[in-house]
A and B are shown apart, each in its own frame.
Chain A
Amino acid sequence: GAGVSQSPSNKVTEKGKDVELRCDPISGHTALYWYRQSLGQGLEFLIYFQGNSAPDKSGLPSDRFSAERTGGSVSTLTIQRTQQEDSAVYLCASSPHTPTGRTYEQYFGPGTRLTVT
């Protein structure tokens, strides 16, 4: 079946502009995560959505970052007034629930490479 998809795959923007990054999770997956991966770094947790619950935004680095998840499916990560330090690969992942509870493993999209000039 279809995996997690992200668009665009690459985005180059000028400092100060706003950008929107999109994530389409695997159908039926109730949990969705956003991460940031800077060059040579591990993954930095940004935000987590689970079903209709309020998202956990504790990883968002500043109030310039926000995310939405519409209808429990597609998610959009918005970065306002982009800065050069926002340049990174933004990864989205989704995770299913099983009848016995969460399975915990995450399925990742290919990422969006953001370059702020």
Chain B
Amino acid sequence: AQSVTQLGSHVSVSEGALVLLRCNYSSSVPPYLFWYVQYPNQGLQLLLKYTSAATLVKGINGFEAEFKKSETSFHLTKPSAHMSDAAEYFCAVINTGGFKTIFGAGTRLFVKA
């Protein structure tokens, strides 16, 4: 069965430091991959998506992610953290042609001043 693993339920970085949130998926074929962000008391918002085009995907708010088939990974990065980046981040996967989206358990990002 399809699964998504996000390593680290909590990640803490200093303002201005690199943000790295890890996501690994299990799939027999390359799926479509997404990162969503959830701010407190809000729904999820799409950050970026991979749909079999360029392996390096740029999203909103300076985030980007790289699809690595050999590692079955889709890690999210941002060169310099901002206080406003503090939120919960979810990695998600959907098989091509499918509809059921499998979400990871989420990683809460804390940004220290």
Contact = CB atoms under 8 A, between A and B. Distances in A.
Interface stretch (A68-76, A78-86, A102-110): A102-110
Interface in A47-89: 48, 50, 56, 58-59
Contacts of A42: 90, 103-106
B101 A4 contact: no
A48 B44 contact: no
A43 interface: yes
B105 A48 contact: no
B5 to A, nearest CB: 11
Interface in A1-32: 4, 31
Interface residues of B, number: 22
A91 interface: yes
Contacts of A35: 103
A48 B99 contact: yes
Interface of B: 9, 32, 34, 36, 41-46, 49, 51, 90, 94, 99-106
